[in-house]
Amino acid sequence: MRKIAFGLTTVALSIAATTSHAGEVEVLHWWTSGGEAAAINVLKEEMKDAGHTWKDFAVAGGAGESAMTVLKSRAISGNPPASAQIKGPTIQEWGDLGFLTNLDSVAAAGKWDQVLPPVISETMKHDGHYVAAPVNVHRVNWMWANPEVFRKSGASIPTSWEQFIVEAQKIKDAGFTPLAHGGQAWQDATLFEAIALAKGSDFYKKAFIELSDETLRSQDMIDVFTTFKKMHDFVDPGFSGRDWNIATSMVINGEAAIQIMGDWAKGEFTAAGKQAGIDYVCFPAPGTSGTFTFNIDSLAMFQVDGDEAQKAQQDLTRLILEPNFQETFNLNKGSIPARLNMPRDKFDACAHSAMDAFLASSSTGDLVPSMAHGMAVNSMVQGAIYDVVTNFFNNESMQATEAVDKLARAVKASM
């Protein structure tokens, strides 16, 4: 008996000796699809290699609505994780509540102010201090298409929403599902936002950043709702509640022609062994070629106690901005690195096009934050827009004129 106890003590001592600076880091995220899991695994492995313990806190659910609910309950009970996938204005909400930790020393050592474009570094700061680390930039206004389905249907890739309706009808007549879609509020909002973006960046900014009552009620917005409702004719009967990655798989396996989705969809094509330009093609969502709706994923860091936990959190923060992680994570995730001047050679044509569009749109004023992905407005306003958009899509009798009135009122009430 004594011998066994002695044996265990020896083992315990030797583990402690090899990992004296090792700490645990609990990370809350919603990256659970094939491409997403491959991406976050890169960070898990790097943390393990640095001698730390990764406690995975994955909460499934596209766009993170469920993850945010779970995070709030953990924070309210005084036990937030060390790190959580939080983005855009929501970082400010958590910062205002005093939960986040100052990352300035890691950021200074890694020269974050120099290696990040201002649109990203500003989003990562609260009151002028870094509190979150960016992993990527997703472009949201993308159209993913199966070229074989287009060929069999005699359809062309649409460059406007008017043309989309014409081509989608051909695809439907040929017996395919034109639009792979999942009826979840955030996916409805992603589609709606892409249609709105085709009205131009000025319209988009007035509607979803300035929240102008006049723009929300305008004829242009009525047109946007009308086109959006038309998309209902092109989804399959099973669309309701479908997860986004299941919709992507419909394009991958040739059941459907198109998905309008951010480039995390590319992560699914990659995970399925498909190649851009051969098995699938990527184009900006119709009418949005010069514009870029950005969605920056980031891990915000919460205050943690104890030297080891703090060291683990700092290592996590540092590793995220390292070129190696930025490259490997984004090759799996479908997005582009947040860090500037990264080598492009391992990235595919869709990523190159996103990189070019990101740079070009930053100087023309056509780089706009995604409303559907929590980059443009706070969570209250976003929730109000989601509700109107999704109710309208699922309510056959609601007119576009009624929808704009509901939208303007809901936005005003949530401001």
Residues forming the site for ligand BGC (CB under 6 A): 30, 36, 62-64, 138, 244, 264, 295, 297, 373
Question: Smallest gap, in angstroms, from Cβ of residue 50 to ligand BGC?
Answer: 23
The enclosing H or E element of 310 equals helix 307-321
Closest CA to 208 of 293, 123, 122: 293
Q: How many CB atoms lie within 10 A of CB 24?
A: 16
With respect to ligand BGC, which residue has the nearer C-beta, 63 or 103? Answer: 63
- Residues sharing a CB contact under 8 Å with residue 268, sequence separation 6 or more, in sequence order: 33, 34, 35, 245, 248, 249, 252, 334
Question: Smallest gap, in angstroms, from Cβ of residue 88 to ligand BGC?
Answer: 9
With respect to ligand BGC, which residue has the nearer C-beta, 62 or 80? Answer: 62
With respect to ligand BGC, which residue has the nearer C-beta, 47 or 63? Answer: 63
With respect to ligand BGC, which residue has the nearer C-beta, 264 or 392? Answer: 264
For residue 254, the one-letter residue type is G
Question: Smallest gap, in angstroms, from Cβ of residue 191 to ligand BGC?
Answer: 14
With respect to ligand BGC, which residue has the nearer C-beta, 206 or 373? Answer: 373
Q: Which residues of 44-53 are buried (b: 16+ CB within 10 A; e: fewer)?
A: eebbeebebe
Question: Smallest gap, in angstroms, from Cβ of residue 227 to ligand BGC?
Answer: 23
Alpha-carbon span 370 to 380, nearest angstrom? 15
- Residues sharing a CB contact under 8 Å with residue 249, sequence separation 6 or more, in sequence order: 268, 272
Question: Smallest gap, in angstroms, from Cβ of residue 222 to ligand BGC?
Answer: 28
Closest CA to 385 of 413, 366, 347, 349: 413
Could you say which DSSP state residue 176 is in? S
Alpha-carbon span 163 to 150, nearest angstrom? 14
With respect to ligand BGC, which residue has the nearer C-beta, 201 or 295? Answer: 295
- Residues sharing a CB contact under 8 Å with residue 76, sequence separation 6 or more, in sequence order: none
With respect to ligand BGC, which residue has the nearer C-beta, 203 or 244? Answer: 244
With respect to ligand BGC, which residue has the nearer C-beta, 199 or 373? Answer: 373
Alpha-carbon span 354 to 360, nearest angstrom? 10
Question: Smallest gap, in angstroms, from Cβ of residue 370 to ligand BGC?
Answer: 8
Alpha-carbon span 301 to 334, nearest angstrom? 24
Question: Smallest gap, in angstroms, from Cβ of residue 20 to ligand BGC?
Answer: 35
Query: Shortest Cβ contact with ligand BGC: which residue?
Result: 264
With respect to ligand BGC, which residue has the nearer C-beta, 171 or 251? Answer: 251
For residue 240, the one-letter residue type is S
Question: Smallest gap, in angstroms, from Cβ of residue 62 to ligand BGC?
Answer: 4
Q: Do 388 and 407 touch, CB atoms closer than 8 A?
A: yes
Cβ neighbourhood burial of 234 (10 Å; 0-12, 13-18, 19+) = buried
Question: Smallest gap, in angstroms, from Cβ of residue 268 to ligand BGC?
Answer: 10
Question: 134's torsion region: left (phi>0), alpha (psi -120 to 50) or beta?
Answer: beta
